[in-house]
Structure 1
Amino acid sequence: MIIRRSYQTSRKIDISILLSINAICLHILKSILQLINTNINTIKYDFQFRVEPYDLFTCQTLAYMFFSIVNALYWSCVLHAGYRFTRILYPKRLWLRRLSTYIYVFIPAQFVVAFTGMSPIPFVFHSIHIVPDEIYCSISMERLPSLIYLFAVLFCLPCCFIVMFYVYLVHKVRSVTSVRVLTRRHRRDYIVIRRIILILGVLSITSLPAVINLIFFNPNGLLEPVVYRIQWVASSVNSFIFIITLPLVNSQLYRLLTKRSNFKQRDMRLTSVRVTGFSDNRDASMYDTLRTRIYCK
């Protein structure tokens, strides 16, 4: 839909729109994997439907792919912040602003980094197992080393990159003799990075219930299986918040999605011009006045 709307506006798909499409596709993949691995099996189990036997390897693979896609989502935020960062500080390096660079280099690298970063979870820590009293696989919350690694690689590392971009930009902006030296576009990029940090902070709040459960109940061995369900609910809420706030990060995406009403108004205006020969009501009223005067004469 976004690509079609971009063609309707007769505009090329720029890098910011491409990065938004990348994030949306990742959310779609994440939702599909969560539906296949968790939601369908949970509904069957809760309502006592017939649950077919499944392969443990397939179950663990789906869980690994899910967390890798979530990691890729956070790296997509880093990619977006890095694009804004390079536009401000390195405007003359054109290869960093080419669409092909992001299609063939940065976006594939995002998947490589995400899947590589999550690979120690199943291959080193061996912490992807069937959840107790459930019929799906997830990362075991009873093993502290794997949880620390997951939190560091999945959330902390991407957020550190984005915060570094922002802090370095603040330092550069304050070192400039006048803030007016920054162009309007650069100020917008600066604000976008700050909004990305704010959105990541809001997303982290939705995971607080599971984190509190882990801190207070996991050391005592009183961890309830409901913690895993809180985790999946938080994941769904995060996706909803991210999709809703995506136009706030990308103003071009917001303008692109709201172009439809403007196009309808323009088409109606062009239709009226073709029928009457006038572009607005003022010209039509002038024509009526002139016709009345000629008739009176």
Structure 2
Amino acid sequence: AFYRLCRIVYSNHRWFQFYWLYVIAIPVQLVVAFIVLCPIMIWRDVTYLPNEYYCLPAFTQTRGILWGTLTAYGLPVLLLSLIYLRITIFIRQQPLNQTLRIKQRQQRDLAAIQRIFINVGLLLALGTPGAVLLIMCFITGIEHPLTYRIMWVGSAVAMAILSIQIIFMTPQLKNIITIRRQQNRVTTLRVTIPMRVIVTNQ
């Protein structure tokens, strides 16, 4: 999303078009994510779950759960929404006499942001059962025994759906797969026809 923002809104700033900026941004993003999640470790909210056999902030640790939820879901969705809003406002403020090439590029980048929104919405939707169980735990004080398993099932299903969805939502990838399928069909037909001829001659 940041790449699309720089490409559309700040296309005249050469510094934002620098290739190495985005190469450096990847490790910087990982470092920032690590720093943001450090408070959970400092607060010692990560505990061993005896029924699940792994470590995770327990739902009873309100501070750790809220911090993890806000940093993992709230902050990315907020930043993505602000970027999408900024790009939309910028495109609508553009003059009508723009070249067709620039308009097509902007619409393509905007469509990419919309696809990201769909993916994020899907992740949030599949995370709803876990959120409902979390709210119930806060209200009743009783933790459902299948809470963590339901939460991980939602994440696993989301990853599976996103893996398939990315094929249909990325035109370049979809074209590659379509071409490969057509080539395989042609190859199969070429192999099948001679076999039929041989059987007929016999």
TM-score bucket of the superposed structures, by smaller chain: 0.7 to 0.9
Query: Structure 1 residue 158: deviation in Å?
Result: 1.1
- Note the C-alpha offset of 1:247: 3.4
TM-score, normalising length: structure 1: 0.56
Q: Which structure: larger Rg?
A: 1
- Look up the match of 2:200: none
CA 231–245 in structure 1, closer or farther in 2 if over 3 Å, else same: same
CA contact (8 A) 1:196 1:249 kept: no
**Number of the residue aligned with 2:190:** none
Check whether the contact 2:123–2:155 (CA below 8 A) recurs between aligned residues.
no
Q: What is the letter of the counterpart of residue 164 of structure 1?
A: L
Give matches, 1:86-165, under 5 Å. Answer: 86-103=6-23, 105-123=24-42, 125-165=43-83
Matches of 1:249 and 1:177 in 2, distance apart?
29
Sort the Cα spacing of 1:219 and 1:153 in 2 relative to 1 into closer, same or farther, 3 A. same
Provide TM-score, normalisation by structure 2. Answer: 0.79
Q: CA 1:248 to 1:193, structure 2 compared with 1: closer, same or farther past 3 Å?
A: farther
Does the CA-based 8 Å contact 2:130-2:151 persist in structure 1? yes
Structure 1 SS opposite 2:47? strand
Deviation at 1:230, TM superposition (A): 0.7
Q: After TM superposition, give the deviation of residue 216 of structure 1 in Å.
A: 1.9
1:216 to 130, 133, 136: 136
Whole-angstrom CA distance in 1 between matches of 2:19 and 2:12: 15
- Corresponding position of 1:178: 96
Unpaired segments ≥5 residues, structure 2: 188-202
C-alpha deviation, 1:190, in angstroms: 0.7
Structure 1: runs of 5 or more not aligned: 1-80, 268-297
- 1:243 equivalent in alignment to 2:158: no
For residue 118 of structure 2, what is the aligned residue in structure 1?
Answer: 198
* Residue 257 (structure 1) shift: 4.1
Please give the alpha-carbon distance, in whole angstroms, between the structure 1 residues aligned to 2:111 and 2:120. Answer: 14
Q: Which has the higher contact order (CA 8 A, sep 6+)?
A: 1
Q: Distance in 2 between matches of 1:151 and 1:205?
A: 14
Change (3 A) 1:83 1:266: farther
Provide the C-alpha distance between the structure 2 equivalents of 1:90 and 1:191, rounded to a whole number of angstroms. Answer: 18
Which deviates more from structure 2 when the two are superposed, residues 202-211 or residues 87-96? 87-96
